[in-house]
Amino acid sequence: MKIVDLWMIVDERLRWLRWRWRRLQVANRWGTEALAGAPRLFGNAIPKAGSHLLHQVLLGFAAIGPFVDPGMPPVNRDVANRKRDQKGILAQLSAMQPGDIRYGYLVA
pLDDT of residue 1: 67
pLDDT of residue 108: 72
Q: What integer is the mean pLDDT of 68-80?
A: 88
pLDDT tens digit sequence for 9-65:
888 889 889 999 999 999 999 999 999 999 999 999 888 888 889 989 999 999 999
Q: Is the pLDDT reported for residue 67 higher than 90?
A: yes
Contact 16, 92 (CB under 8 A): no
pLDDT of residue 52: 87
Instruction: For residue 73, give the 3-state DSSP assignment.
Output: coil
Q: If residue 82 lies in a helix (H) or strand (E), which one and from where to where?
A: none
Q: Is the pLDDT reported for residue 78 higher than 90?
A: no
Among 91, 94, 101, 102, which Cα is nearest to 26's? 101
pLDDT of residue 68: 96
pLDDT of residue 22: 95
